[in-house]
Amino acid sequence: MNFVNTDMTVKRLTGAIGAELSGIELTGPDYDNIFPAVHEAFLEHAVVVLRGQDLDPAQLVAFSKKFGKLESHVLSQFNNKDHPEVLYISNVKDKGKPIGAINAGQYWHSDLSYMNKPTQASLLHSKEIPSYGGDTMFVNMRKAYEDLSNAMKAFLDPLTAVHDYTNAYDTFFKDIPDRPPLTDEEKAKVPPVVHPVIRTHPETGAKALYVNPGFTRRINELSSEESRAILDYLFRHFQQPKYIYRHTWAEGDLVIWDNRCTCHFAVADYDMNENRHMIRCSVEGDVPR
């Protein structure tokens, strides 16, 4: 579709999720004029891709602020020194130490679902990419919810779940030396929180599944065994290929996704001797309802 007063065009990427936006240059002086169209596409498609951008941290911050108030990640050592809202997602090392969050997101998750106000939008911009691999998969949790039976929807609707950042460290990071355990100070910043299993999008009104293997520990209203069985079922359900868009990165890509109705997974199938360096901004969201 085309938008009035812009040269932006939108091309759907899959049947369930994702769109590529073309005709946009974010280093130009007038992107304010096209932001309403970008935001409309973001709400409709949940993931939007803008190719061929070249943003420095300050420019990424300026554009990201159009979506709302920015937040800084708890892993402050990986934030840009001049712009702490910018997190490095990177395997680049300086004097043997990673400069960014290495092995980040190599499991299905919704950004900062372990916070009282989880991330609304994430904006990830690729600066260096390996010669192969390193894709990111995105899943439409809204569509996954819609395809559940009415009986399952009614069962899930009143349930709540615990989200805990340490869950990722207890499971996915436990054998990765470059991701040491959280310090006590870092843990204190991210105590476990409780969110609904089904959340309602505050802007579109659509319902979506809101559990993920990375951060969801258990469903509160069920026994441990019941919780594990239901979570495992929901995780299998939303990982069906028909709900997924797999993004193959090119240098200069800017991918923006809506964490209120998506999960994503970074595929670690690239040569770790090759640089994979990205910068990310995160937009604060609201309390899930």
Enclosing domain of residue 263: 9-284
Predicted pLDDT of residue 174: 72
Predicted pLDDT of residue 168: 85
Q: What is the pLDDT of residues 183-232, one digit of tens each?
A: 888 888 899 999 999 999 999 999 999 999 999 999 999 999 999 999 99
Predicted pLDDT of residue 176: 73
| Residue 226 lies inside a defined structural domain of this protein | yes
pTM of the model: 0.93
- In the set 125, 179, 195, 264, the catalytic residue is 264
- Domain count of the fold of the chain: 1
- In the set 45, 83, 109, 125, the catalytic residue is 109
Question: Which band of pLDDT confidence, cut at 50, 70 and 90, is reported for residue 5?
Answer: very low
What CATH number corresponds to the domain at position 122?
3.60.130.10
Check whether 3 has a pLDDT greater than 50: no
- In the set 45, 73, 83, 111, the catalytic residue is 111
| Residue 76 lies inside a defined structural domain of this protein | yes
| Residue 4 lies inside a defined structural domain of this protein | no
Q: What is the pLDDT of residues 225-260, one digit of tens each?
A: 999 999 999 999 999 999 999 999 999 999 999 999
| Residue 3 lies inside a defined structural domain of this protein | no
Check whether 266 has a pLDDT greater than 90: yes
Predicted pLDDT of residue 2: 34
264 is catalytic: yes
280 is catalytic: yes
| Residue 261 lies inside a defined structural domain of this protein | yes
The whole-chain average pLDDT of the chain stands at 93
Structure tokens at 171: 């499971």
| Residue 1 lies inside a defined structural domain of this protein | no
Predicted pLDDT of residue 181: 79
Please compute the mean of the pLDDT values over residues 38-63 and round it to a whole number. Answer: 97
| Residue 2 lies inside a defined structural domain of this protein | no
